[in-house]
Amino acid sequence: MNFDINSILRDNIKNLVPYSSARDEFKGEASVFLDANENSYGSPLETAYNRYPDPLQWEVKKRLSEIKGVPPQNIFLGNGSDEAIDILFRAFCRPGVDNVITVPPTYGMYEVSANINDVAIKKVPLTPDYQLNLEGIAEAIDANTRMIFICSPNNPTGNSINREDVETVLANFPGLVVIDEAYINYSRQKTFIQELTEYSNLVILQTLSKAWGLAALRVGMAFASEEIIEVFNKVKPPYNINQASQELALEALKNIDQVNDWIKETIREREKLVGNLHSLPFVLKIYPSDANFILVKTTDANGIYNFLVERGIIVRNRTKVELCEGSLRITVGTPSENEILVNTLKSFQS
């Protein structure tokens, strides 16, 4: 399979002259900046936010490059991974013409973003053990299929997708294979980042919203070939990551030891939670998890969900999702939160 980005890039994006900001047109050292119509006097805050931020967030990318072992030019930062997903649709899928493949049950944003962009979705459900249906995927691909979304570890099921299966898709599909690794920090599987040199059709999504504890800052990452990253940069709004988020992300990225400690504790707590929930009579099955949540199949998902809500405990009810009937998705909390959850569930009468 020979991947050619120009065979899937929309013509309007190929021909696009991107917005050129004041910060793009002058990049050197200077002392008087009168080029961007900012307030030259300052901001009504202790920290000065009157200057536009770096459009390409090089400081943050350099730090991420050290952590992830990938050159900064192979990194895109978005206002959450959701921005990266939306840009992929806008750059590579012709509305009303092209389609993408999703493998449900999976993260809901791929479908929402497809719908917003008027791009058809072909759904190839996972197998009953939540792995790829490779034959089904091969059959679903047609001349207008532009992308396949694979979430691993998968949300809401929690399991990792078999690596060899993902590689089969990567090696045979002539469009983009988007691997969403939002939960990779909790996984026993290694990231696909090291495979970027091998597969030019690979896009990996990660985020600072989960293990890094920065959901409110809205910083998502995409890793891909330089030519794909250039497309992201051409299409994105000029200043898509604000200055406060850039500064705080950079600061947070220094605390990797703290994050690694939380990851270990979360995994310990996850296993403890699994052990405690197993003994409850209304729990039918707990799916193996490589993430910071577990999917729990019960005899009465709606009953348990409402029972918990009445007691101020919110979990995610996934019972209406295909292949998740009867299931609740439960995020691993702190030790005391998990204890409250388990003790409360012990008083549920099924």
Ligand X SMILES: *Cc1c(COP(=O)(O)O)cnc(C)c1O
Q: Which residues are near ligand X by CB under 6 A?
A: 80-82, 107, 151, 155, 180, 182, 207, 209-210, 215, 220
* Upper half-sphere CA count for residue 265 (Cβ side, 13 Å): 12
Residue with tokens 């921005």: 83
> CA 165, CA 151: separation in Å to the nearest integer?
13
What's the min distance (Å) between Cβ of 107 and ligand X? 4
**Nearer to ligand X by C-beta: 84 or 196?**
84
Which residues does residue 234 pair with via DSSP β-bridges, in sequence order? none
Residue with tokens 């532009």: 146
Instruction: Answer left, alpha or beta for residue 158, where phi above 0 means left and psi between -120 and 50 means alpha.
Output: left
Q: Using alpha carbons, select from 205, 208, 202, 206 the residue that is nearest to residue 228.
A: 202
Write phi, then psi, for 310 (nearest 5 degrees). -60, -20
What's the min distance (Å) between Cβ of 83 and ligand X? 7
**Nearer to ligand X by C-beta: 151 or 228?**
151
**Nearer to ligand X by C-beta: 107 or 130?**
107
What's the min distance (Å) between Cβ of 93 and ligand X? 19
Q: Using alpha carbons, select from 322, 327, 293, 326 the residue that is nearest to residue 105.
A: 322
Residue nearest to ligand X (CB): 80
What's the min distance (Å) between Cβ of 27 and ligand X? 28
**Nearer to ligand X by C-beta: 77 or 169?**
77
Give the chain's length: 350
Residue with tokens 């996850």: 270
* Upper half-sphere CA count for residue 24 (Cβ side, 13 Å): 11
Please say whether the beta carbons of 294 and 330 come within 8 A.
yes
> CA 93, CA 115: separation in Å to the nearest integer?
12
**Nearer to ligand X by C-beta: 98 or 180?**
180
Q: Is residue 47 packed enough to be buried (19+ CB in 10 Å), middle (13-18) or exposed (0-12)?
A: exposed
What is the DSSP code (8-state) at residue 181?
Answer: -
Please say whether the beta carbons of 126 and 158 come within 8 A.
no
The pair of three-digit structure tokens given for residue 235, joined into one six-digit string: 């299409």
What's the min distance (Å) between Cβ of 150 and ligand X? 10
What's the min distance (Å) between Cβ of 203 and ligand X? 13
What's the min distance (Å) between Cβ of 112 and ligand X? 12
**Nearer to ligand X by C-beta: 91 or 178?**
178
> CA 327, CA 260: separation in Å to the nearest integer?
29
**Nearer to ligand X by C-beta: 52 or 183?**
183
**Nearer to ligand X by C-beta: 82 or 290?**
82
What's the min distance (Å) between Cβ of 249 and ligand X? 12
**Nearer to ligand X by C-beta: 237 or 275?**
237
What's the min distance (Å) between Cβ of 331 and ligand X? 11
